[in-house]
Structure formats: structure tokens, C-alpha cells
Homo-oligomer: A and B are copies of this chain.
């Protein structure tokens, strides 16, 4: 269960855009240096985000990227899905497409519950939350538990 560099970079760039309040486009170069991400790689990621309707772009001098929607209408899940596809899948299949037989039948429920709990976090946090330096109460509750910070 890993979050790819691509997803991490995509969210960071999107948050940076959400934080740029003055509605003028931000260049890929500026985003790359602000978040310390390889510029050419970020360009490719931003193209994905544009194709998925997360950001809009303007070419030419003074061009760059802006969010295509309001920052509070874009969740982390939206951004991750745009670059990496489905949030959770098992052996390249969606949980609901799996077919378990025998004593492992209930395992399907585990994967579905897992996905539900992943969604509960990533679909709750918006770019506006992150740009504002805060997270929803439900998420804060999760991280306020000391156990959440331990590496078992």
C-alpha cells in the first residue's frame, strides 16, 4: 500500500495552486521549485491533472496553471485518482470484481472496508483545507492519537 511519488507530487502542486490566492497562473517551473520536485516530471503530472479537469492551463508568456474548480471542491482523492487511477485495488482488480471461494470468502469484506476507510480520509480533505494549514475534525481526531505516529 504505497503512495507513489507521482501522487505525492500531484497533491503538493495542487495545494500550492490552492494557496496562490491571486488567481494569476503559476508556472510549472515555479511550482517545481516551491515544492522541490523535478520540473520536467511535474510538467507531465500537470498534464494529467489538466486532462482530468483538476487544473486549467494557459500557454505562452505569463501562462501557467490554475485550479479548474474552487479549492474546497477538490479533494485529495480527486487528485490521486487523476494521476494513479483507482484508490484501492487488489491484484489489479477493484474489490467488487474479486471472486473468493472457500474459507476466504469474507476476505472480500475486508478489502471493501479497507477502501471505505481510505476514502473516509482522502475524500474528506480538500485542497482548501491543506492550503489553510488545517484538516477536517474527523481527520484531526485520527492523527491526535499518539499511536498513529508510531511505526510498528
Q: Identify the A interface with B (CB < 8 A).
A: 1-5, 8, 11-12, 15-16, 18-19, 34-36, 76, 81, 84, 86-92, 94, 96, 100-107, 109-118, 120-122, 125, 129-131, 133-135, 139-140, 142-143, 145, 147-149, 151-152
Q: Considering the chains assembled together, what is the distance between the CA atoms of A59 and B75 in angstroms? A: 52
Chain multiplicity (copies): 2
Q: Considering the chains assembled together, what is the distance between the CA atoms of A128 and B42 in angstroms? A: 46
Instruction: For the complex formed, measure the closest distance between the CB of A66 and the CB atoms of chain B, giving whole angstroms.
Output: 15
The interface residues of chain B lying within 8 Å CB-to-CB of A120 are: 117
Contact A88 B2 (CB under 8 A): yes
Given contacts A8-B91, A96-B151, 16 further A-B contacts (CB under 8 A): A1-B2, A1-B3, A2-B88, A3-B111, A3-B114, A8-B90, A12-B107, A16-B102, A16-B103, A35-B104, A81-B152, A96-B149, A103-B131, A106-B133, A107-B130, A109-B135
